[in-house]
Structure 1
Amino acid sequence: MAQKENNNLKPERIFSVGQYIEAVNIALDRFKVKITGEVTEVKVAASGHCYFTLKDKDANNALDCIIWKYNYGICGVKLEEGLEVILSGKGRLYNVSGRFSFVADTVELKGEGALKRAYEQLKNKLEAEGVFVEERKKPLPEYPQDIGVITSKHGAVINDLLTNLGQFGFKIKIVDSRVEGQEAISDLLGAVKQFKKQKIDVLVIMRGGGSLESLQAFNNEMLVRAIVD
């Protein structure tokens, strides 16, 4: 198989347009990267997919980008003109147009100022809806026994929890999840959904300390609503 692939890539091989585009996409698919820049020309289609351009702030370099509806929905970032972001994804060359685009899986805000503004905007929005009012909060049981925990099994936090609570006979159920980066959001949402099907007295979602950038996944509207609902 390896020999055949090498033969296909020999300089003397003549590609059709379709074959060349396919070969380029195979190569691009191997490399998931992160890129940063300033957002311009944002357009959200009727389908919910978001199309935009990412450019270097102080140069003329620009890249057409797209993030599909589902990923745009869970990223928690509303793309706007002039916003500085970090994208994670892969390049793609399209057959019909021959156009190159960067297909983003995740979007992260860049800079503490932008993160703080986004946090306050989300907090104000949810407060206006009454999400945090006391009447909506479930009372904690006086003596919880079954405790659900969502965190990374590889962090120090879970060891601290088990050391301090495990010795007292609590039944602790753990769902492993990434707890940093935009990729963690889908893990956290899935873990909450999983625990909703189980009988537990208390659900704990936790990680160690960190910067505002590190905590982005927890300041996510879909995650808040999944917990509240």
Structure 2
Amino acid sequence: MTDIAPETSGNAKAYSVSELAFALKRTLEDAYGFVRLRGELSKVTHHSNGHVYLTIKDERAAIDGVVWKGSVRNLSIRPQQGMEVVVTGKITTYPAGSRYQMVIETMEAAGVGALLAQLERLKAKLQAEGLFEPSRKRALPTMPAVVGVITSPTGAVIRDILHRIRDRWPCRVIVWPVVVQGDAAAGQVANAIARFNALPMDGPVPRPDILIVARGGGSVEDLWAFNDEALARTVAEGTIPLISAVGHETDTTLIDFVSDRRAPTPTAAAEMATPVFAELRGYIGDLSARLHRCGGRVVEDRRGRVEHAGRALGRVPDLVEMAAQRFNLAASRLGAGLSRNVAAHGTDLVRVSARLHPALLKRPQEVQTDRLQRLSVRLSPAMERRIERAGERLTGLSKLYASVDPSAPLKRGFARVHRTDGSLVREGGSLASGEGVRLVFADQTREAVIDGASSPAAVPAPKVGPKPARPAKPAPPSNQGDLF
């Protein structure tokens, strides 16, 4: 056995890890500064900061890739799992992890087959969510007043639609101009649909009764904007019925499946959205003629039924003649009957009047007169006594009134003293010096002013014992008050 000695480093320079890592990074970027790569996408991650991280693989190898936020907006397609693409960019390394990756600048689908495969996957996803169900599709209005058209303002499509609507139906057409090809087409069409659906019913811009999304024919790549998932969901969420008229009859896009009706061409969409005014007028005229014919047949049928029923009835002259004959017979017997009735009542009157004489009326009159005289004899003394008692009572009330009359003392020389407010003065001490008073005499009233101070109260005289009074008959109670 032979021992092997380790190699010596000699004078070779020792690199640091960072120097070697960044040297490799520069070498790769210089050698592979522009790379065009074809493969299948996997592990696609759309980060919240806007970057997209993914892996490009084939059957034997895989390379990590990244699309920076600034380049995501410029991609012609949205990266999705399993999509076969062709990307361009540069190879670089990630020094902190000893990994290399591709910085992607552009991305496009690898042929029509890849685009169709992506479309089929998206169709299956939306169909599983029920967006293609016939039950959710809305019926188109029969006679729209406003038609909204979402298409390019230039080209033959808008001219064909306007010309066809003008020939068929008088209505208002509102055109929302959009681009119908390229990266911005899907967003503009979706925004137009959402804005049309957001219009109020009574706003300054009339809300369309139906929408038409139209575009002429083209390749799969040209029509790819109408296969956008966000656009399909916007169409499904709308409340205005929508007709899809994208491409020719053989072209199929995702918007065709979620719209309420698909038209093979833009001209056919205009025909679906509007009726033919001349045909409608003719149809109404035909209905009016049919109505008149039906009404005439109904009247003739009722007239025939009335005539048939009238045959079973008797003739009017026959019915009237029979009634007139009965009336004449009764009228001829009426005079004789009245004469016999008068004669019979006259006989009854003579028979009754023979029993009547004046004595029958005088006897009740004499009885009532006698009864009245007896009542008069009984009532006269009682009435005289009641009148006498009433006179005595009236005399007593007159005397009582004279005794309480406040004006009676005035006739004997007294006077009443009133304040200026009309209140009665009962005590002299309540009057102040200089206060105005009103003196009421029997014949007139005079004004006066109190002068001087009030005199001291007089010393009351000694009380003398009362003399024994003779018992007197108690006076009747009265309501007599104070004189003043």
TM range, smaller chain: 0.5 to 0.7
> Contact (CA 8 Å) 1:67, 1:103: kept in 2 or not?
no
CA deviation map 1:113-139 (0-9, x unaligned)? 011111111111111111111221111
TM-aligned CA deviation for residue 166 of structure 1: 2.7
Alignment TM-score, normalising by the size of structure 2: 0.32
Measured in 1, the distance between the counterparts of 2:104 and 2:222 equals 24
Counterpart AA for 2:176 = V
Measured in 2, the distance between the counterparts of 1:82 and 1:218 equals 18
Distance 1:63 1:131, change over 3 A: closer
Counterpart AA for 1:128 = A
Could you say which residue in structure 2 is the equivalent of 1:180?
Answer: 181
CA deviation map 1:156-175 (0-9, x unaligned)? 10111111113432211111
Could you say which residue in structure 2 is the equivalent of 1:78?
Answer: 79
Could you say which residue in structure 1 is the equivalent of 2:52?
Answer: 50
Identity fraction in percent: 33
Q: Secondary structure at the match of 2:218?
A: coil
Counterpart AA for 2:142 = E
Distance 1:43 1:121, change over 3 A: closer
Equivalent positions of 1:91-110 (< 5 A) are: 108-110=108-110
Equivalent positions of 1:1-229 (< 5 A) are: 37-38=37-38, 43-47=44-48, 49-52=51-54, 65-67=67-69, 71=73, 77-80=78-81, 83-85=84-86, 108-167=108-167, 168-198=169-199, 199-229=207-237
Distance 1:42 1:36, change over 3 A: farther
> Contact (CA 8 Å) 1:77, 1:109: kept in 2 or not?
no
Counterpart AA for 2:213 = I
> Contact (CA 8 Å) 1:53, 1:65: kept in 2 or not?
no
Measured in 1, the distance between the counterparts of 2:65 and 2:72 equals 21
Q: Secondary structure at the match of 2:78?
A: coil
TM-aligned CA deviation for residue 223 of structure 1: 0.3
Measured in 2, the distance between the counterparts of 1:225 and 1:51 equals 26
> Contact (CA 8 Å) 1:54, 1:63: kept in 2 or not?
yes
Measured in 1, the distance between the counterparts of 2:47 and 2:215 equals 37
CA deviation map 1:153-195 (0-9, x unaligned)? 1121011111111343221111111111222112112211221
Measured in 2, the distance between the counterparts of 1:191 and 1:102 equals 32
Distance 1:147 1:86, change over 3 A: farther
Q: Secondary structure at the match of 1:212?
A: coil
The structure that is helix-richer by fraction is 2
Counterpart AA for 2:153 = K
Aligned residues: 178
Alignment TM-score, normalising by the size of structure 1: 0.63
Q: Which runs of 4+ in 1 moved over 4 A?
A: 39-43, 52-55, 67-72, 100-104
Measured in 2, the distance between the counterparts of 1:158 and 1:83 equals 36
Unaligned runs of 5+ in 2: 1-34, 58-63, 89-101, 200-206, 238-484
Measured in 1, the distance between the counterparts of 2:211 and 2:36 equals 35
> Contact (CA 8 Å) 2:44, 2:81: kept in 1 or not?
no
CA deviation map 1:11-36 (0-9, x unaligned)? xxxxxxxxxxxxxxxxxxxxxxxx97
Q: Which has the larger radius of gyration?
A: 2
> Contact (CA 8 Å) 1:52, 1:66: kept in 2 or not?
no
Distance 1:215 1:82, change over 3 A: closer
> Contact (CA 8 Å) 1:152, 1:178: kept in 2 or not?
yes
Aligned-residue CA RMSD (Å) = 3.8
> Contact (CA 8 Å) 1:77, 1:108: kept in 2 or not?
no
Measured in 1, the distance between the counterparts of 2:174 and 2:212 equals 10
TM-aligned CA deviation for residue 102 of structure 1: 5.8
Measured in 2, the distance between the counterparts of 1:43 and 1:156 equals 41
Measured in 2, the distance between the counterparts of 1:76 and 1:151 equals 22
Unaligned runs of 5+ in 1: 1-34, 56-61, 88-99
Could you say which residue in structure 2 is the equivalent of 1:27?
Answer: none
Measured in 2, the distance between the counterparts of 1:138 and 1:201 equals 12
CA deviation map 1:74-123 (0-9, x unaligned)? 97633347721478xxxxxxxxxxxx96666xx65341101111111111
Higher relative contact order (CA closer than 8 Å, sequence separation 6+):
1
Distance 1:201 1:52, change over 3 A: same
> Contact (CA 8 Å) 2:37, 2:86: kept in 1 or not?
yes
Q: Secondary structure at the match of 1:194?
A: helix
Distance 1:132 1:53, change over 3 A: closer
Measured in 2, the distance between the counterparts of 1:150 and 1:179 equals 9
